[in-house]
Amino acid sequence: MDDEVTVLRQAANRREASQSYTEIAEWMNAEGHLTTRGKEWRPAVLAEVLDHPAIAGLYEDEQGDLVKSGGPELIPPEQFRKIRAMRPKHQQDVVRAPQREYELSGKDTVCGLCGHSLGTGPSNAGSPGYRCKPSTAQHPGGCGRVRIKADLLETYVGEHVLAELAKPGVRELVEQAREWAEREAGVVRRRLEEDLKRRRQLGADYAKSRDISLSAFKQADKEMSKQIKEGRDRLRFLEQAAHVSIGGVPDLVKWWKHAPTASRRALTFLLLEKIAVYPGGRGTRTVDANRVGLTWRTWGSDPEA
């Protein structure tokens, strides 16, 4: 483990001195230093390692700020910040196009063929859309056979949500679900606090023990980070749902047009349990029940966000 740490510190020193990742990777491979999986270093892999906050005993909070995790500092935090700032994606003066917000992103919008959650992003032509991503080693499970334009799907679902809200008694049920979301947010918030404590303890245990390898620590930290991210995503949704109140809204159609994306998303998934999207013909510009299946929540018991 000491050898691994020494090599990473030397790599960090070289990067801080403005040596390229390609040059550093070539040096590491020439010296016989391999990754934890026994493979030669690639520039992209090295960049991600030196860009991960855990290497400096840090983690990113919900606001994206770097704070101490209690884990070991394989390189000094100040050196980590300097190295990270050298990457274009972390340079604040880089002008980026605004990101499109997707109303239906999340685990409940799925591929009708394989059941995998749909991803979001522009098509080759640049049109925002939802798609089932093909299965890869990093993201297994998708079939890659379903794609739909975002505007088409969001308009179709929005029209059905508004029609459902127009039914007698539905608004009252939404208020009940909103109150449930507020209670559930408290449960998830406490669970998230426990997960953060566990991650800090993991770092402390690694710092004290010489029986835990760097690779084992990184794998455990990765799994904990994933769990914490999922908890934060769920908490964010529940908090949004808890604050969506439509009881006093006289014109829902007008409200829907001007409501924040987060409010429309939260309201949609308080009503819908699942949105399943199926393949359409090439160039299809319409959406119907054969293309999109909507599963409405069963009221009378606590819904699941």
Token pair recorded at residue 15: 């990067």
Same domain, 76 and 116: no
113-to-155, 250, 272, 286 alpha-carbon distances in Å: 22, 39, 19, 19
pLDDT-derived band at 277 (thresholds 50, 70, 90) equals very high
Q: How many domains does the chain have?
A: 2
For the segment 162-211, what is each residue's pLDDT rounded down to a tens digit?
Answer: 999 888 888 888 888 888 888 989 999 999 999 988 888 888 787 777 67
What confidence category does residue 305 fall into, taking pLDDT thresholds of 50, 70 and 90? very low
The verdict on 178 and 299 lying in the same domain is yes
Which of 90, 124, 139 corresponds to the end of one domain?
90
- Contacts of 193 by beta carbon, 8 Å cutoff, 6+ apart: none
Is 34 part of any domain?
A: yes
Q: 245 and 273 share a domain?
A: yes
Q: Are strands 292-296 and 119-122 parallel, antiparallel or unpaired?
A: unpaired
Nearest CA to 148 among 96, 102, 88, 203?
A: 102
Mark whether 190 and 123 lie in a shared domain. Answer: yes
Residues 217 and 117 in one domain: yes
pLDDT for 32 beyond 90: no
Given 45, 64, 90, the domain boundary residue is 90
* Least reliable range by pLDDT among 54-58, 68-72, 206-210, 224-228: 206-210
The predicted-structure confidence for 67-92, as pLDDT tens digits, reads as follows: 888 788 899 999 999 998 887 655 44
Which of 78-87, 92-101, 268-277 has the highest mean predicted lDDT (pLDDT)? 268-277
The helix or strand, by DSSP H or E, that contains position 197, with its residue range, turns out to be helix 170-208
* 165 shares its domain with 296: yes
Q: What's the full length of the chain, in residues?
A: 305
- 8 Å CB contact between 112 and 147: no
Q: Do 143 and 219 share a domain, yes or no?
A: yes
| Among 90, 122, 151, residue at a domain's last position | 90
Q: Which residues form the domain of 63?
A: 2-90
Assess whether 63 and 8 both reside in one domain: yes
Torsion angle of alpha carbons 182, 188, 193, 195, nearest 10°? -170
**Residue 74 shares a structural domain with residue 108:** no
Give a yes or no: residue 26 inside a domain: yes
Please indicate, yes or no, whether residues 24 and 115 belong to a single structural domain of this protein. no
For the chain, helix (H) and strand (E) counts, in that order, are: 9, 8
Q: Do 180 and 231 fall within a single domain?
A: yes
Tell whether pTM > 0.85. Answer: no
Q: Establish if 96 belongs to a structural domain.
A: no
CATH code (residue 16): 3.90.1750.20
pLDDT tens readout for residues 102-155: 999 888 999 999 999 999 988 767 789 999 988 876 667 889 999 999 999 999
Q: What is the mean pLDDT of the chain?
A: 84
Find the mean pLDDT for residues 216-237: 85
Q: At what angle do helices 43-50 and 2-16 cross, to 10 degrees?
A: 100
Same domain, 284 and 236: yes
In a domain? residue 95? no
